[in-house]
Amino acid sequence: MAGIDRFVRRRSRAAFAIWVALYTLLVVLPLPLALIRLDPGRGFWINLSVAFGFVGLAMFGLQFVMVARSFVVVHPVGMDLVLGFHRQMAYLATLLVFAHPIILFVVDTRFLGLLDVFTSPMRAKFAVASCALLLAIIVLSVFRRRLRVSYEAWQITHAVLALAVVVTALAHVLLVGYYVREWWEQALWIVLSAAFVGLGVWVRLLKPVLRRRRPWVVESIDRDIDAVTTITIRPKQTADAVRPGTHSGPADLAGGLWRPFHFEPGQFAWLQARRSAFALTYHPFSISSSAEHPEHIRFSIKAHENFSRDIAELVPGDTVYVDGPFGAFVLPPAGPIVFVGTGVGVTPLLSMLETLADRGDTRRCELWLGNRDERSIAGRSQLEALEQRLDLSVVHLLSRPSAEWQGPKGHIDAAFVRARLPLAAEGSSFCICGPDAMMDEVERTLADLGVHHDVIHSERFGMV
C-alpha cells in the first residue's frame, strides 16, 4: 500500500478515512444479510469461502464507481488517489475471489470436478469463465507496456473484460442461488445490479450527452516548443452555453446540481477532440492558465504516440469536449511556495503562478524548473512575464544547454535540492510535478532535510 500512503499523507486524512469507511461498508453489506438465515450445516470454511466470493464481487462492482469520474466520489480525495486505490483494491478483490474456490477445493476435493467445464453445471461454467476473464484483466494491466498494448486498446479491453467478469460472477451467484433465496438477499443484489447498470448509463450515456451539449472550441494553437503544443479553448457559441461569468463549460449532474466550470489552479481535465463526445478514451491534461479566467482555458501538451501527437494537428474552430475539473493538487492557501517542475510538468505550476498574479498575491515564490535545453522550456515567455508581476524568482536548470548558456546545468536531483533549500523562504510549501524519478528523488530529499510531508504537494502524470 506504499503508493497510497504517500498520497494520503498529503490529503485530508479525515476525508480519506470517511471515504474508506464508506467503501468498506458497501463491500461487506452482503454479509450480514446472508448471515440472517445462515445454514450452520455447511461448515465454517465453506461459509467463509462464500463470504470471500461475495466481498470480492461487491468490490468489483465498486471498481466501476471509482473510475466513473463522478465529482462526489473523486473530489474528497483526488483522482490519483482514487485510481491508486482502484488498482490496489483490484488485487485484493482478485485474491478474495480466487480464495473462494481454493478453500472449497481444499475443504472438499469433490469440488475440483466443477473445473471440468465440459461436464460441470452452468453455475460452475460461469464461475470458471469469470475467473479466467479476471486473470486476463490482471495480466493485461500489469504487463500492458511490455505487451505493447496502446493505452486506448487497453482501456477498451479493460472495460469490456471488467463488465464480463461482473456479469458472469452475478450469473454464478444467481444460479447457485444459495445465498439469494430470501427476499432481502434478492432485493440487495437487484439494487446493486440496478445501481451498476445505472452507473453505466450515467458514465457512457448521460455524461457524454451533457458534454456534447456544452462543447468547447479551439481558439488558438501555439507550437513554439519542441514536441509541445499549447491550445487555448473557450466555450462554443451554443444556445445554452454562455452566460457571462457563470457556467461556460461541461457540467456535472452529480447529486442533481448544475456545477459552474470553475477550477482550482493546479487541477486537470479530461479532453477529447475530433471524436464523438461518446468516445471511450479521454486524456487528462493539467490546465495551465489562470483560474481567474475560466472562460478561456489553456493546455500545453507534449506529443507521445497517439492523441497527444494528434493534438498538434488541431486548428482553430475544432470542437473539444472537456470533462472536469479534477484533482487535489491545488494552490496551498497561504505562505511562500517553492514550485518544482521538469519539462511539461510545468503546466499546473503555470496555472498556480498565473492565478497568484491575477489575484495580486504578494507571497514569496520560487520556481526550480528543469529542461533539456533553451528551446525546450515550455511556458518560458509566460514565466518571464510572471517574474514582473510576482515576487518570483525562476531557476532554470538545463541538462544539455547550448554553449551560450550561463545558467546552472544538470538535473533537479538530491544535490540540487540540498543546495537550493537553505535559500528558500522559511516555511515554504512545495508543489512538485514532473517525471516519477525526479519527483521521488525531490520528495525523498525534502523529507530527509526535515520538510514536513503536509507541505509537500505533488501531481504525477503517470496515473495509469
Residues making contact with ligand FAD (CB under 6 A): 150-151, 268, 281, 283-286, 299-302, 304-309, 327, 344, 347, 459, 461-464
Residues 6+ apart with CB under 8 A from 13: none
Minimum CB distance to ligand FAD, residue 251 (Å):
21
> Angle formed by the axes of helices 122-142 and 151-176, to 10°?
160
Residue (265 or 327) nearer to ligand FAD, CB: 327
Nearest-angstrom CA–CA distance, 233 and 60: 37
Main-chain phi, psi angles of 450, to 5 degrees = 90, 10
Which is closer to ligand FAD, CB of 97 or CB of 137?
137
- As measured in angstroms, the least distance from the Cβ of 16 to ligand FAD is 18
Closest distance of CB 143 from ligand FAD, Å = 13
Distance of CA 291 to the CA centre of its chain: 21
Q: How far is the CB of 330 from ligand FAD (least distance, A)?
A: 12
CB of 232 to ligand FAD, least distance (A): 13
124 and 91 in contact (C-beta within 8 Å)? no
Least separation in angstroms between CB 352 and ligand FAD? 13
Q: Of 53 and 265, which CB lies nearer to ligand FAD in the complex structure?
A: 265
Q: Least CB distance from residue 464 to ligand FAD, whole Å? A: 5
For ligand FAD, which is the closer residue by CB, 111 or 154? 154
Burial (CB count <10 Å: 0-12, 13-18, 19+), residue 305:
exposed
Based on CB atoms, which residue is closest to ligand FAD, 114 or 432?
432
3-state secondary structure of 320: strand
Residue with Cβ nearer ligand FAD (248 or 347): 347
* Residue (of 142, 126, 51) closest to 90 by Cα position: 142
Q: Find the DSSP H helices in 280-406.
A: 307-310, 347-358, 380-389
How many whole angstroms separate alpha carbon 87 and alpha carbon 315? 37
Element (H, E) at 157: helix 151-176
| Type of residue at 240 | D
Smallest gap, in angstroms, from Cβ of residue 275 to ligand FAD?
12
| Residue 131 or 225 with smaller CB distance to ligand FAD | 225
Nearest distance in Å: CB 307, ligand FAD: 3
- According to DSSP H, which parts of 177-227 are helical? 183-201, 207-213
221, with CB counted inside 10 A (0-12, 13-18, 19+), is middle
∠ CA 270-301-230, nearest 5°, is 110
CB of 362 to ligand FAD, least distance (A): 27
In the sheet where 391-398 sits, what is the strand order?
391-398, 364-371, 337-342, 429-434, 456-460
Nearer to ligand FAD, 104 or 367 (CB): 367
Shortest distance, position 285 Cβ to ligand FAD, whole Å: 4
Residue number with CB closer to ligand FAD (339 or 461) = 461
Measured from the CB atom, is 139 or 463 closer to ligand FAD? 463
Q: How many helices (H) and strands (E) does the chain have?
A: 15, 11
Q: Indicate the residue among 76 and 327 with the shorter CB distance to ligand FAD.
A: 327
SS3 277: coil
How far apart (Å, rounded) are the C-alpha atoms in residues 462 and 80? 9
